[in-house]
Structure 1
Amino acid sequence: MSRPCRQYGCPNVVKLRSQNGYCNNHESMRSNWNKRPQRAGSTTERGYGHAWRKLREKVLQRDGYLCVNHYAKGEIVEATDVDHIVSKEKGGTDELDNLQSLCAQCHQEKTAKEDSKQ
Protein backbone atom coordinates (compact mmCIF):
# COMPACT_ATOMS: atom_id res chain seq x y z
CA MET A 1 0.00 0.00 0.00
CA SER A 2 1.49 3.32 -1.08
CA ARG A 3 1.57 6.26 1.33
CA PRO A 4 2.87 9.82 1.13
CA CYS A 5 6.34 10.51 2.53
CA ARG A 6 6.31 11.63 6.18
CA GLN A 7 8.47 14.67 5.43
CA TYR A 8 6.21 17.73 5.42
CA GLY A 9 5.53 18.98 1.91
CA CYS A 10 7.22 16.07 0.14
CA PRO A 11 5.16 14.88 -2.84
CA ASN A 12 6.90 11.48 -3.10
CA VAL A 13 5.24 8.17 -2.33
CA VAL A 14 6.56 5.43 -0.04
CA LYS A 15 5.84 1.92 -1.30
CA LEU A 16 7.85 -0.36 0.97
CA ARG A 17 7.32 -0.92 4.70
CA SER A 18 11.12 -1.08 5.13
CA GLN A 19 11.31 2.61 4.17
CA ASN A 20 9.77 3.50 7.57
CA GLY A 21 7.53 6.15 6.07
CA TYR A 22 10.20 8.19 4.26
CA CYS A 23 10.96 8.30 0.54
CA ASN A 24 14.48 7.78 -0.80
CA ASN A 25 15.08 11.55 -0.85
CA HIS A 26 14.52 11.64 2.93
CA GLU A 27 16.11 8.32 3.90
CA SER A 28 18.31 10.07 6.48
CA MET A 29 15.14 10.66 8.53
CA ARG A 30 14.53 6.92 8.89
CA SER A 31 15.05 5.53 12.36
CA ASN A 32 17.12 2.44 12.95
CA TRP A 33 15.70 1.96 16.45
CA ASN A 34 14.67 -1.64 15.80
CA LYS A 35 17.88 -2.61 13.99
CA ARG A 36 20.34 -2.27 16.86
CA PRO A 37 22.69 -5.27 16.77
CA GLN A 38 23.06 -5.49 20.56
CA ARG A 39 19.35 -6.25 20.88
CA ALA A 40 19.79 -9.83 19.63
CA GLY A 41 18.70 -12.50 22.08
CA SER A 42 16.23 -12.59 24.93
CA THR A 43 16.30 -10.09 27.77
CA THR A 44 17.91 -12.69 30.02
CA GLU A 45 20.58 -13.46 27.40
CA ARG A 46 21.34 -9.72 27.20
CA GLY A 47 21.86 -9.53 30.97
CA TYR A 48 18.42 -8.32 32.03
CA GLY A 49 17.17 -11.32 34.03
CA HIS A 50 15.79 -11.63 37.56
CA ALA A 51 18.59 -9.64 39.22
CA TRP A 52 18.05 -6.76 36.76
CA ARG A 53 14.29 -6.74 37.36
CA LYS A 54 14.89 -6.44 41.12
CA LEU A 55 17.43 -3.64 40.58
CA ARG A 56 15.09 -1.91 38.13
CA GLU A 57 12.31 -1.90 40.73
CA LYS A 58 14.70 -0.45 43.32
CA VAL A 59 15.64 2.42 40.96
CA LEU A 60 12.00 3.16 40.10
CA GLN A 61 11.15 3.27 43.82
CA ARG A 62 14.14 5.51 44.56
CA ASP A 63 13.01 7.98 41.87
CA GLY A 64 9.36 7.85 42.94
CA TYR A 65 8.34 6.22 39.63
CA LEU A 66 8.92 9.59 37.94
CA CYS A 67 10.95 10.42 34.83
CA VAL A 68 14.01 12.27 36.14
CA ASN A 69 14.30 14.37 32.94
CA HIS A 70 10.76 15.69 33.25
CA TYR A 71 11.02 16.07 37.04
CA ALA A 72 14.09 18.30 36.58
CA LYS A 73 11.86 20.60 34.47
CA GLY A 74 9.12 20.61 37.10
CA GLU A 75 6.92 18.18 35.17
CA ILE A 76 5.36 15.03 36.58
CA VAL A 77 5.60 12.13 34.11
CA GLU A 78 5.51 8.44 35.03
CA ALA A 79 8.76 6.53 34.50
CA THR A 80 8.45 3.20 32.71
CA ASP A 81 12.12 2.50 31.91
CA VAL A 82 15.39 2.33 33.82
CA ASP A 83 18.38 3.62 31.86
CA HIS A 84 22.13 3.29 32.26
CA ILE A 85 23.48 6.86 32.41
CA VAL A 86 26.78 5.57 31.00
CA SER A 87 25.86 2.62 28.79
CA LYS A 88 27.24 -0.82 29.59
CA GLU A 89 28.72 -0.76 26.10
CA LYS A 90 30.86 2.23 27.13
CA GLY A 91 31.92 0.79 30.47
CA GLY A 92 28.92 1.71 32.59
CA THR A 93 27.84 -0.56 35.42
CA ASP A 94 24.64 -1.65 37.13
CA GLU A 95 25.49 0.46 40.19
CA LEU A 96 22.58 2.54 41.48
CA ASP A 97 24.40 5.82 40.79
CA ASN A 98 24.62 4.87 37.09
CA LEU A 99 20.89 4.17 36.74
CA GLN A 100 18.00 6.58 36.24
CA SER A 101 14.24 6.32 35.77
CA LEU A 102 12.93 7.65 32.46
CA CYS A 103 9.65 7.71 30.57
CA ALA A 104 9.64 5.69 27.35
CA GLN A 105 9.95 8.82 25.17
CA CYS A 106 12.99 10.20 27.03
CA HIS A 107 14.64 6.77 27.03
CA GLN A 108 14.07 6.36 23.30
CA GLU A 109 15.42 9.86 22.55
CA LYS A 110 18.52 9.32 24.73
CA THR A 111 19.24 5.94 23.15
CA ALA A 112 18.76 7.31 19.62
CA LYS A 113 21.15 10.18 20.39
CA GLU A 114 23.75 7.75 21.78
CA ASP A 115 23.39 5.45 18.76
CA SER A 116 23.84 8.36 16.33
CA LYS A 117 27.19 9.24 17.94
CA GLN A 118 28.64 5.82 17.10
Structure 2
Amino acid sequence: MPRYRRCRQPGCHAMVQLPNHYCAKHHEHEAEYLANRQRWARAHSKRYQHKYNNVTRYRNDTKSKQYQFYKTRIWSVLRQQALDRDHYVCQYCGQPNSKTVDHIVPIEYDQQRMASIDNLATICRECHRKKTQWEQSYYGTGQGNQLKSVPEVRKIFEIKKLFSK
Protein backbone atom coordinates (compact mmCIF):
# COMPACT_ATOMS: atom_id res chain seq x y z
CA MET A 1 0.00 0.00 0.00
CA PRO A 2 1.53 3.36 -0.98
CA ARG A 3 2.39 5.88 1.71
CA TYR A 4 1.35 9.53 1.59
CA ARG A 5 2.34 12.82 3.19
CA ARG A 6 1.24 16.43 2.98
CA CYS A 7 2.72 18.76 0.38
CA ARG A 8 5.64 20.75 1.85
CA GLN A 9 4.38 24.03 0.38
CA PRO A 10 3.13 26.25 3.26
CA GLY A 11 -0.66 26.46 3.25
CA CYS A 12 -1.13 23.56 0.82
CA HIS A 13 -2.90 20.56 2.30
CA ALA A 14 -2.77 18.27 -0.74
CA MET A 15 -1.52 14.72 -0.18
CA VAL A 16 1.44 13.41 -2.21
CA GLN A 17 2.70 9.88 -2.58
CA LEU A 18 6.16 9.13 -1.20
CA PRO A 19 8.98 9.73 -2.16
CA ASN A 20 7.69 13.06 -3.54
CA HIS A 21 7.62 16.11 -1.27
CA TYR A 22 5.38 18.45 -3.31
CA CYS A 23 2.01 18.06 -5.05
CA ALA A 24 1.54 18.46 -8.82
CA LYS A 25 0.61 22.13 -8.31
CA HIS A 26 3.91 22.91 -6.51
CA HIS A 27 6.15 20.29 -8.16
CA GLU A 28 8.60 22.94 -9.42
CA HIS A 29 9.98 23.23 -5.85
CA GLU A 30 10.92 19.52 -5.64
CA ALA A 31 14.37 19.78 -7.31
CA GLU A 32 15.33 22.80 -5.20
CA TYR A 33 14.24 21.04 -2.00
CA LEU A 34 16.24 17.88 -2.82
CA ALA A 35 19.34 19.95 -3.66
CA ASN A 36 19.07 21.76 -0.30
CA ARG A 37 18.75 18.42 1.54
CA GLN A 38 21.84 17.03 -0.19
CA ARG A 39 23.80 20.20 0.51
CA TRP A 40 22.82 20.05 4.19
CA ALA A 41 23.72 16.34 4.45
CA ARG A 42 27.17 16.89 2.93
CA ALA A 43 27.85 19.81 5.28
CA HIS A 44 26.69 18.02 8.43
CA SER A 45 27.84 14.42 7.96
CA LYS A 46 31.33 15.11 9.33
CA ARG A 47 29.89 16.49 12.57
CA TYR A 48 28.10 13.21 13.30
CA GLN A 49 31.10 11.07 12.31
CA HIS A 50 33.30 13.26 14.49
CA LYS A 51 31.11 12.56 17.52
CA TYR A 52 31.19 8.81 16.91
CA ASN A 53 34.92 8.65 16.27
CA ASN A 54 36.03 10.96 19.08
CA VAL A 55 33.48 10.30 21.80
CA THR A 56 32.12 6.80 21.37
CA ARG A 57 35.11 4.93 19.96
CA TYR A 58 37.79 6.65 22.06
CA ARG A 59 35.97 6.34 25.38
CA ASN A 60 39.02 5.04 27.27
CA ASP A 61 42.78 4.66 26.81
CA THR A 62 42.66 0.99 25.80
CA LYS A 63 40.12 1.55 23.05
CA SER A 64 41.91 4.68 21.92
CA LYS A 65 45.17 2.77 21.38
CA GLN A 66 43.35 0.01 19.52
CA TYR A 67 41.65 2.37 17.10
CA GLN A 68 44.82 4.42 16.58
CA PHE A 69 46.50 1.21 15.37
CA TYR A 70 44.00 1.00 12.49
CA LYS A 71 45.23 4.39 11.22
CA THR A 72 48.89 3.34 10.96
CA ARG A 73 50.85 2.33 7.90
CA ILE A 74 51.65 -1.01 9.57
CA TRP A 75 47.94 -1.90 9.62
CA SER A 76 47.35 -0.91 6.00
CA VAL A 77 50.31 -3.06 4.86
CA LEU A 78 49.23 -6.04 7.02
CA ARG A 79 45.64 -5.73 5.84
CA GLN A 80 46.67 -5.76 2.19
CA GLN A 81 48.99 -8.75 2.77
CA ALA A 82 46.13 -10.68 4.38
CA LEU A 83 43.75 -9.84 1.52
CA ASP A 84 46.34 -10.91 -1.07
CA ARG A 85 47.14 -14.12 0.84
CA ASP A 86 43.44 -15.05 1.12
CA HIS A 87 42.58 -13.87 -2.44
CA TYR A 88 39.71 -11.70 -1.08
CA VAL A 89 37.77 -14.85 -0.08
CA CYS A 90 36.08 -15.10 3.32
CA GLN A 91 37.97 -17.72 5.32
CA TYR A 92 34.83 -18.63 7.29
CA CYS A 93 32.21 -19.18 4.57
CA GLY A 94 34.11 -18.92 1.25
CA GLN A 95 32.28 -15.87 -0.09
CA PRO A 96 34.36 -14.11 -2.78
CA ASN A 97 35.11 -10.36 -2.89
CA SER A 98 35.32 -9.98 0.88
CA LYS A 99 37.32 -6.89 1.78
CA THR A 100 37.27 -6.93 5.58
CA VAL A 101 40.26 -8.20 7.54
CA ASP A 102 39.66 -9.37 11.09
CA HIS A 103 41.85 -10.47 13.98
CA ILE A 104 41.26 -14.16 14.71
CA VAL A 105 41.99 -13.61 18.41
CA PRO A 106 40.63 -10.12 19.22
CA ILE A 107 43.27 -7.51 20.02
CA GLU A 108 41.25 -6.48 23.04
CA TYR A 109 41.91 -9.96 24.44
CA ASP A 110 45.54 -10.37 23.30
CA GLN A 111 47.34 -7.17 22.28
CA GLN A 112 50.61 -9.02 21.60
CA ARG A 113 49.07 -10.41 18.37
CA MET A 114 47.90 -7.02 17.13
CA ALA A 115 50.49 -6.74 14.33
CA SER A 116 50.83 -10.44 13.50
CA ILE A 117 49.85 -11.56 10.00
CA ASP A 118 49.15 -15.03 11.42
CA ASN A 119 46.33 -13.55 13.52
CA LEU A 120 44.54 -11.99 10.52
CA ALA A 121 41.90 -13.47 8.24
CA THR A 122 39.72 -12.12 5.46
CA ILE A 123 36.06 -12.17 6.45
CA CYS A 124 32.74 -11.15 4.89
CA ARG A 125 30.34 -8.77 6.62
CA GLU A 126 27.85 -11.43 7.70
CA CYS A 127 30.52 -13.68 9.23
CA HIS A 128 32.16 -10.64 10.85
CA ARG A 129 28.87 -9.73 12.53
CA LYS A 130 28.39 -13.30 13.81
CA LYS A 131 32.02 -13.59 14.93
CA THR A 132 31.85 -10.28 16.81
CA GLN A 133 28.75 -11.45 18.69
CA TRP A 134 30.49 -14.73 19.50
CA GLU A 135 33.64 -12.89 20.71
CA GLN A 136 31.54 -10.74 23.02
CA SER A 137 30.00 -13.78 24.66
CA TYR A 138 33.10 -16.03 24.64
CA TYR A 139 35.96 -13.58 25.37
CA GLY A 140 33.89 -10.84 27.02
CA THR A 141 35.05 -8.17 24.57
CA GLY A 142 33.04 -5.11 23.66
CA GLN A 143 31.59 -2.13 25.44
CA GLY A 144 30.50 -2.82 29.00
CA ASN A 145 31.80 -6.39 29.10
CA GLN A 146 34.50 -7.86 31.34
CA LEU A 147 37.25 -9.92 29.71
CA LYS A 148 37.01 -13.59 30.62
CA SER A 149 39.88 -15.94 31.36
CA VAL A 150 39.22 -18.53 28.64
CA PRO A 151 41.58 -20.37 26.27
CA GLU A 152 42.24 -18.69 22.92
CA VAL A 153 40.65 -20.28 19.87
CA ARG A 154 43.10 -19.78 16.99
CA LYS A 155 41.75 -22.13 14.31
CA ILE A 156 39.26 -20.60 11.90
CA PHE A 157 37.22 -23.79 11.39
CA GLU A 158 36.76 -24.15 15.17
CA ILE A 159 35.61 -20.52 15.47
CA LYS A 160 33.17 -21.04 12.59
CA LYS A 161 31.66 -24.08 14.32
CA LEU A 162 31.34 -22.13 17.58
CA PHE A 163 29.67 -19.02 16.16
CA SER A 164 27.42 -21.02 13.82
CA LYS A 165 25.72 -22.80 16.73
What's the TM-score once normalised by structure 1's chain length? 0.56
- The residue number in structure 2 matching 1:40 is 58
Any conservation in 2 of the 1:79–1:101 contact (CA below 8 Å)? yes
Higher relative contact order (CA 8 A, sep 6+): 1
Residue 91 of structure 1 pairs with residue 110 of structure 2: yes
Any conservation in 1 of the 2:89–2:96 contact (CA below 8 Å)? yes
Q: Tell me, which stretches of 5 or more residues in structure 2 are unaligned?
A: 1-51, 141-165
1:45, distance to aligned residue in structure 2 (A): 4.6
What is the aligned residue count? 79
Q: How does 1:17-96 map to 2 (within 5 A)?
A: 39-40=57-58, 45-49=67-71, 50-71=73-94, 76-92=95-111, 93=113, 94-96=115-117
Q: Which has the larger radius of gyration?
A: 2
Higher helix proportion: 2
Identity of aligned residues (%): 34
RMSD: 2.9
Deviant stretches of 4+, over 6 Å:
41-44
Q: Tell me, which stretches of 5 or more residues in structure 1 are unaligned?
A: 1-33
